[in-house]
Amino acid sequence: MYKHYMESRVTMTPEKSLTFLKEGNQRFINNLKINRDHFEMVNITSDSQFPFASILSCSDSRTSAELIFDQGLGDLFSVRLAGNVASMDAVASLEFSHKILGSKLIVVLGHTNCGAIKGACDQYNQYNLKYLLDQIAPAIEIEAETIEERNSTNTKFVENVAKINVQYQIQELVDKSSFLKTAIESRELGIIGAIYNVSSGKVEYFDMDIYTCDVLDTPLHFAN
């Protein structure tokens, strides 16, 4: 990506950003990563940066966006919080990435077997984690498929909540930021939800219009 650094600022689009991410993940799962000169990339990005996409992902040690999407220094603006929650700090960071740095796409990236999701499902309330997990609780309330065993021992329930939580956090982003909402509606910025599978390395994207702001009304299906 960095070889196209200067022209990308002018020609980059949300659709092209998504294509770059999909191609990068395909390289990752096929173990065909681009051979980068990291020191050269340090020099190229030392004075400025142009991340073509922003990723709101979980802090989980298995979900490094640069690795998952096979990107280098300066390519991605990465915001990481346990449970990929759209806190006000995350919202402000993503506003910065679009307004100041020119990022064209936001991906809210959840993942399978997420400890934060499991903690929220079990209503873990010790220490300051309670305040973070409270931001996942609405996704648990929305999940209506599971009647019994609504806890972390139920794998299906946990995965359902993880998907709904991605959808909910996208809605939180656009509800909390009129700037991001306007940018999305004007098609200057795209937004999409996805789930990373920690077993396969594959990222699956929700089948949704990247310019949609009423995300909670979007069916939770993955694109083919």
Mind listing the pLDDT tens digit for each residue in 3-43?
555 556 678 999 999 999 999 999 999 998 777 766 667 76
Could you give the percent of the chain with pLDDT greater than 70?
A: 90
- In the chain, the N- to C-terminal Cα span, in Å, equals 25
Looking at residue 215, its pLDDT comes to 82
pLDDT tens across 197-211, in order? 999 999 999 999 999
Task: Please tell me whether the overall predicted TM-score, pTM, comes out greater than 0.75 for this model.
Answer: yes
Long-range contacts at 118-121 (CB < 8 A, ≥ 24 apart): 118/152, 118/158, 119/152, 120/83, 120/161, 121/150, 121/151, 121/152, 121/157, 121/158, 121/161
Domain boundaries, the chain: 2-113+177-214
Rounded Cα gap, residues 1 and 12, in angstroms: 11
Above 60 in pLDDT, residue 2?
no
2-113+177-214 topology per CATH: Beta-carbonic Anhydrase; Chain A (3.40.1050)
Rounded Cα gap, residues 134 and 223, in angstroms: 29
